[in-house]
Amino acid sequence: MRVLLTGPCGRIGYTTFTRLLHAGHEVRGFDTKTGFLSHPDGFNESIERFWRNKGYSFEWQWGDVRNPNDVREAIDDDIDAIIHHAAMTLPTHCEEEWEYCWDVNFFGTLNVIDAVLASPQSPKLLYSSSVANYGYPVQGKKHFVESDPLTPTCTYAATKIASELAIRRAGINYTIMRLGSVLDVGAPHLAMMADPDLLARIIKENRLKSSKSPAHFVSSDDVNTAYLNALDNLESDRRTFNLVGPADCRTTFRFMQDEINAAVGAPPSSDDDWGNGPYPQQYYDPAPSDNVLHHVRTDKAGIIANIRNAVDDIAEFVSLSAPG
C-alpha cells in the first residue's frame, strides 16, 4: 500500500516509519523541518538523513500540518492510507503553548480530514489518540474500556477528543487508536536525555505525577503491529481501540522511569522528582483491541529489554545521521 505518515520524526512516528518500510509498503513521510518544541534544532533533518544513509527507499515532504496546502500536497491521488501521528504531546508544553497545541493537534487534523475528503482515492485514516482522554483514575474502577466516558483534564486530551469527534463526523473511513504510555523500540529520541533543556522538561513532566501514579505501558513494536494490521482490516473500520500492553505492563511511571535511568547510566529517581498527581492515566483492557488487531505481544520484561537495546541503537544513529 501507499501510506502517508505524518510526524515520522516524532518519538512514536519514527518507529512506525521504520516498521512500514520493513513491511514493504511505499511510504511518504510528512513532517516539519524545524521540529516541535521538544526537538533540538536540526534533529528532524538528521532523522531523514539517517534513513537515507541506511539505504531505505521512501518519499519525503517537509511541511506543516497547520498549512492546508502542505497537507493537500502530501495526500495526493494515490495514497491508500494515512497514519496521522503529527501532534504536540508533552502536557506541560501543551499547557504553556495551548493555542499552538490546538493549531497543531486539532486544526491540523481538520486539514488532514479535508484533504482525505478531497482525494478521489478516499484513503483510510488511522488516527493516533490517547488514553489520557478518559481523565484521572477512578477509585474502585479496575480499568477503562473504549465505551467509557471521556473526561479531558488537560489541553492535550481536549485536542485529542475534539479531533476524534471531527473524524467520526466527517464520513470518512477511520480507525482511532488511543495509545497508552508508549516506550520506543530503536528510536533515537532517548539520546536527547543528554540535552539539559530536555532533561529539565522531563523532570517538569514527572512533577505532574506522583511517585505512585499508575501507568499502563505498551511497546512501540506492539503499537505498530496494531497500525499495520489495521491498514486493510475491515473489522477495524470506523472503530476505536485502546492500545496497551498485557496485564503485567500495569505499573507506575516511576518504575519505568527508573528502568530508563538505569539504561542510560543515571541514578534512580528520588521522591523529590515527583509531584502529588493526579495524572490522567489508569489501567485499560487490552482484549478488545487485541481481538481485532492481534498486537499484544510484549510483556513488561520485553519492554525493559527493548529500552536497553534502544540505547545500543543510538550509536548507529549518531554515526549515520551526521551532516556531510
Residue 263 pLDDT > 80, yes or no? yes
pLDDT in tens, 129-178: 999 999 999 999 999 999 999 999 999 999 999 999 999 999 999 999 99
Residue 34 pLDDT > 70, yes or no? yes
User: Which element (helix H / strand E) includes 158?
Assistant: helix 155-169
Residue 278: cis peptide before it, omega within 30 degrees of 0: yes
**Sequence-ordered alpha helix ranges (H) in 175-252:** 196-206, 220-230
As a whole-number percent, the residues of the chain with pLDDT over 70 amount to 96
How far apart (Å, rounded) are the C-alpha atoms in residues 258 and 321? 28
Residue 6 pLDDT > 90, yes or no? yes
pLDDT in tens, 55-94: 999 999 999 999 999 999 999 888 999 999 999 998 999 9
- Which architecture does CATH list for 2-321? 3-Layer(aba) Sandwich (3.40)
35 vs 10 pLDDT, higher one: 10
pLDDT of residue 266: 86
How far apart (Å, rounded) are the C-alpha atoms in residues 49 and 322? 8
Statement: the pTM of the whole predicted model exceeds 0.85: yes
136: helix, strand or coil: coil
Eight-class DSSP state of 42: T
Q: pLDDT-based confidence at 199, cuts 50/70/90? A: confident
Residue 191 pLDDT > 70, yes or no? no
Helices then strands, counting H and E runs in the chain, come out as 12, 10
Task: Among 14-18, 232-236, 263-267, name the one with the lowest average pLDDT.
Answer: 263-267
- State the amino acid at position 203 in one-letter form: I
pLDDT of residue 194: 63
Residue 36 pLDDT > 90, yes or no? no
How far apart (Å, rounded) are the C-alpha atoms in residues 286 and 246? 7
Torsion angle of the four alpha carbons 41, 322, 5, 130, in this order, in degrees rounded to the nearest 10: -60
Q: How does the average pLDDT of the chain come out, rounded?
A: 92
Q: pLDDT-based confidence at 112, cuts 50/70/90? A: very high
pLDDT of residue 192: 65
Which residue bears the cell 480530514? 113
Q: pLDDT-based confidence at 261, cuts 50/70/90? A: confident
Residue 313 pLDDT > 80, yes or no? no
Q: What is the DSSP string of 217-280?
A: EEEHHHHHHHHHHHTT-GGGTTEEEEE---GGGEEEHHHHHHHHHHHTTPPPP-GGG------S
Three-point CA angle 280, 281, 283, nearest 5°: 155
| Cβ atoms 115, 172 nearer than 8 A | no
Residue 193 pLDDT > 70, yes or no? no
187 vs 19 pLDDT, higher one: 19
pLDDT of residue 58: 98
pLDDT of residue 137: 95
pLDDT in tens, 203-215: 888 999 999 999 9
User: Which element (helix H / strand E) includes 183?
Assistant: strand 181-183
| Cβ atoms 183, 303 nearer than 8 A | yes
